[in-house]
Structure 1
Amino acid sequence: MQTKDNVLIFGELLLRLSSAAEHFIASDQAVSIYPGGSEANVAASLGQWGIPVSYLSCVPDNPLTSNVLSYLEELNVDISKTIKAEGRLGLYFLLSANGLSSGEVVYDRKHSSFSNLKPGTIDWNEVMKGHTWFHWTAITPALSEHAALLCQEALQAARANNLTISVDLNYRSRLWDYGKEPIAVMPGLVDHCDVIMGNIWAANKMLGTSINSSVGRHTSVDDLRMEAAKCATEIFDLFPRCKHIAQTFRFMDQPTHNLFHGTYHNREGHYHSPVHETQRVVDRIGSGDAFMAGFIAALLSNAGGQKIAEYATNAGYRKLFVKGDFGNGTI
C-alpha cells in the first residue's frame, strides 16, 4: 500500500517471554522470546505494508536491544528516532505459550529506559519534522504521572505541527498503579485526537461513555453493533476533534476458538465487518495492534467506510495465525 504520509509511533519497546508451561520455574520446556509492545507491533505491520513509518522509543544501548531494533529495520521501520539511554528493556511474561489458555500477563517494566523518560527531554518539533501522523496508546500514560505528562507534551506538539493524531485505548488495569484512574487522565489526552480505536468497555473505563452492563459474549451481533454505534456517538459528542472511531469485539470461548469482528464510525455513518470465527488460533497477542495498523492504513488510503471496517478487522484476524507479537504482513 503506497502513501505519501509518514507515520510517527511513540511507545515502549518490550520483550515477551512465554512458555508452553504456565510455570516457568521447574519446567524443562524452552522459554520463547519475542519483541513486542503495542506501538512497536503497529509499526511492524505498517512497515511490512510499505507505509513509511518511524518508531520512537527509549532503550538501553546493548546487543539485545540492537537485535530487536535491527529486526524492526528489516520490516521497513525507521528506528533513527529511538533514543539510547541508561536503564533496562521492559519485559512482560506471558504465562502460556501464546495467550490461548490463561494468557495471564506479568509486567516487569519499572525502571526501564523508557519509564525513566521525563517531560522536556524530547525535542518534539524536531522529531515530528517530515511526519504527517502521530500514533500513541493508552499504555504510556498508564505507566506513571510523568509518562502521562510526556504524552500531553507530545500531543500538543503534534497538534501544533498539524499531524493527524490516533490513539488506541489499550486498557491494562495492572499498569494503572500510581494513584490515578484512567478517567482522570485519558479524556484530556484524547481531546487532541482525530482517530480513536478501542472497544465499548475501554471507552467506558477511560472516557466515561455509558455501557449496558449485561453486554458480553452472548449478546447478539446486532445488539453489539448497536452498542458500538451508541458508544461512538457519545465519543463524537465528548471529543469534537475526533473524526474516526473503530471498535473491536474479540471473544475467546476455548483456547483455539475466537470470534473477531469490528466496527468503524464517522460523523456520517456506522459500518461493521463480517464476524470471523476460527478454531485454530496460533497466537492472540498483538491482534488488536494489527487491527489498529489496518485502521490507520485504510484511513491513509482514503478507503470508504465499509472498506475501513473490513480492512482493519481482516488485519486483526489474520494476526491470530502468526506466532509472536508482530504480524507477518498478511491482510
Structure 2
Amino acid sequence: MSAAPPPPRAVTFGELMLRLSPPGQERLFQSPQLRTGFGGCEANVAVGLAHLGVRADYITRLPDSPIGQAALHALQAEGVGTGWIALAGGGDRMGIYFVEPGADIRASRVVYDRAGSAFAAITPAMVDWAKALGGAAWFHGSGITPALGDGPRAALSAAITAARSSKARISVDLNYRPALWQGRDPRDVIEPLVQGADLLIGNRDAVRVMLGVEGPDDSLAQRLAERYGCRRVALTRREVLSASEHGWSAALYDASSGGAWQSRRYQVHVVDRVGGGDSFAAALIAALAADRDPGDAVQFAAAAGALKLTIPGDWNRATPEEIEQLVRACT
C-alpha cells in the first residue's frame, strides 16, 4: 500500500501582535489585570490551517526579544511553521492591540498601538520569497498589510509575485480597518494586489470602500470576479444584533462554472468577535485546497467562523470534527 500524500502546504504573511484584553466583559483598565495573547489576521489563518491538517508556514518580522520569542513559541505550539520569520534586533518593538469586549448594547472596541513595530519596518529583501514559497500550494495575505506602510506593501507584492511564479494559489482577504487607513483611499493600493487572485474574500463594506464596487448581494461576487479576474469570490455577512448576538453567514461564487452557493445563517451568542472572519478564511482555504465541492466548502467555512465567535482569543479551538458536526446538525 502506497503512503498517503503529504498534506498541502500553505504560507501566510502579515503582522503578529501582542493582544491585551481585560478579564470577562470589563472595560479597558477597569481593573489592574490584562490578559495576554497573540493574534493578527494572517497568523490567525495560519493557526486555523494547522488545526485543520494543512502544513502552515507563517512569515512575519518580530523583535528578537522575550516578547518576540514568546510569540514564536506560541505559534509553534499551535503547529505553525516559523522557519521563515525574520527577527529584528536593536530597539524594535512588537505591535500591540487592546480588545475591549462588548456586552449587549455596548459595542466591543479595538485600540491599536502598532506604529514603529518591527513588522512596519519590513522590506521585500528581508525574506527570500522564492525559497519561502517554493513547493507551496497556497499563499494568503490581507488588505491590512499594505495599510501599514510602503515596506509591508512592497513585501506583500513581492510575496504575491513569488507565489504566482511557484504556481501557488493566492487568496486575499480585504479586511478593511478604518483606523489603519486614516482617511487614505485604499483602492489604488489594493486593486493590483487582488488582480487575478484565486480567492478574494471580503464583505459588502470592505468591497465598497477598498475596491469601489457596489451591487445587490446576488450579483456582487460575480461583478468582482469579472472586474479583477478572480477565480472565486467569497463574501461574509455579519449581522450585529447586539454585541452579544450576531447573525453569521457567507456566500461563494465560482467564475469558471458560474455557480453560487449560500451557507446556512447562524445566530450566535458571541464570546469573542475577533477572528471569526479569519477562521472562515482558514476553513475555506483548507476545503478548497483539498478540492472539496464549493458548496460543501462554504458550508464548512461558515460553520468554522460561527464556532470561533464562541471561543475567547484570536485562535479557533474548534476541531474539524466539531465543525463537520455543526454542518450536519444544521443541514
2:233 alignment counterpart: 245
1:229 alignment counterpart: 218
What is the CA-CA distance between 1:260 and the residue it aligns to? 0.5
What is the CA-CA distance between 1:100 and the residue it aligns to? 8.6
1:255 alignment counterpart: 243
State TM-score, norm by structure 1. 0.89
What is the CA-CA distance between 1:97 and the residue it aligns to? 6.8
What secondary structure sits across from 1:175 in the alignment? helix
1:158 aligned to which of 139, 149, 163: 163
Q: Distance in 1 between matches of 2:106 and 2:80?
A: 32
What is the CA-CA distance between 1:146 and the residue it aligns to? 2.8
2:56 aligned to which of 46, 50, 53: 53
- Given that 1:156 and 1:192 are in contact with CA atoms closer than 8 Å, whether structure 2 keeps it comes out as no
Q: What pairs with 1:289-304 in structure 2 (closer than 5 Å)?
A: 289-304=278-293
What is the CA-CA distance between 1:95 and the residue it aligns to? 2.6
The gaps in structure 2 that reach 5 residues or longer are 324-331
**1:167-205 CA distance string (max 9 Å, x none):** 11100011013x741111111111141111111221121
Q: Distance in 1 between matches of 2:279 and 2:63?
A: 26
1:146 aligned to which of 139, 148, 151: 151
**1:92-147 CA distance string (max 9 Å, x none):** 11233799942121111111110011233322112112312111000000111332
Q: Distance in 2 between matches of 1:29 and 1:272?
A: 45
What is the CA-CA distance between 1:230 and the residue it aligns to? 1.1
Distance verdict in 2 for CA 1:3–1:170, change over 3 Å: farther
- Given that 1:91 and 1:109 are in contact with CA atoms closer than 8 Å, whether structure 2 keeps it comes out as yes
Distance verdict in 2 for CA 1:99–1:113, change over 3 Å: farther
Q: What pairs with 1:23-62 in structure 2 (closer than 5 Å)?
A: 23-24=28-29, 27-62=30-65
1:217 alignment counterpart: none
Distance verdict in 2 for CA 1:100–1:120, change over 3 Å: farther
- Given that 1:196 and 1:246 are in contact with CA atoms closer than 8 Å, whether structure 2 keeps it comes out as yes
Q: Distance in 1 between matches of 2:6 and 2:267?
A: 31
Q: What is the one-letter code of the residue matched to 2:203?
A: N
1:216 alignment counterpart: none
* 251-260 or 290-299: bigger deviation: 251-260
2:112 aligned to which of 85, 97, 107: 107
What secondary structure sits across from 2:139 in the alignment? strand
* 179-188 or 111-120: bigger deviation: 179-188
Q: What is the one-letter code of the residue matched to 1:116?
A: A
Q: What is the one-letter code of the residue matched to 1:270?
A: A
Distance verdict in 2 for CA 1:33–1:100, change over 3 Å: farther
Q: Distance in 2 between matches of 1:285 and 1:128?
A: 28
- Given that 2:62 and 2:85 are in contact with CA atoms closer than 8 Å, whether structure 1 keeps it comes out as yes
1:215 alignment counterpart: none
Q: Distance in 2 between matches of 1:85 and 1:194?
A: 32
The gaps in structure 1 that reach 5 residues or longer are 212-226
Q: Distance in 1 between matches of 2:11 and 2:104?
A: 28
> How many positions carry a matched residue from both structures?
311
- Given that 2:248 and 2:302 are in contact with CA atoms closer than 8 Å, whether structure 1 keeps it comes out as yes
1:81 alignment counterpart: 84
Q: What is the one-letter code of the residue matched to 1:263?
A: A
State TM-score, norm by structure 2. 0.89
Distance verdict in 2 for CA 1:304–1:98, change over 3 Å: farther
Q: What pairs with 1:168-247 in structure 2 (closer than 5 Å)?
A: 168-177=173-182, 180-211=184-215, 227-240=216-229, 242-247=230-235
Q: Distance in 1 between matches of 2:28 and 2:270?
A: 22
What secondary structure sits across from 1:70 in the alignment? helix
Q: What is the one-letter code of the residue matched to 2:312?
A: K
1:271 alignment counterpart: 261
Q: Distance in 2 between matches of 1:305 and 1:17?
A: 37
Q: Distance in 1 between matches of 2:299 and 2:71?
A: 31
What secondary structure sits across from 2:301 in the alignment? helix
Q: Distance in 2 between matches of 1:146 and 1:68?
A: 22
- Given that 1:138 and 1:167 are in contact with CA atoms closer than 8 Å, whether structure 2 keeps it comes out as yes
2:327 alignment counterpart: none
What is the CA-CA distance between 1:21 and the residue it aligns to? 2.7
2:312 alignment counterpart: 323
1:224 alignment counterpart: none
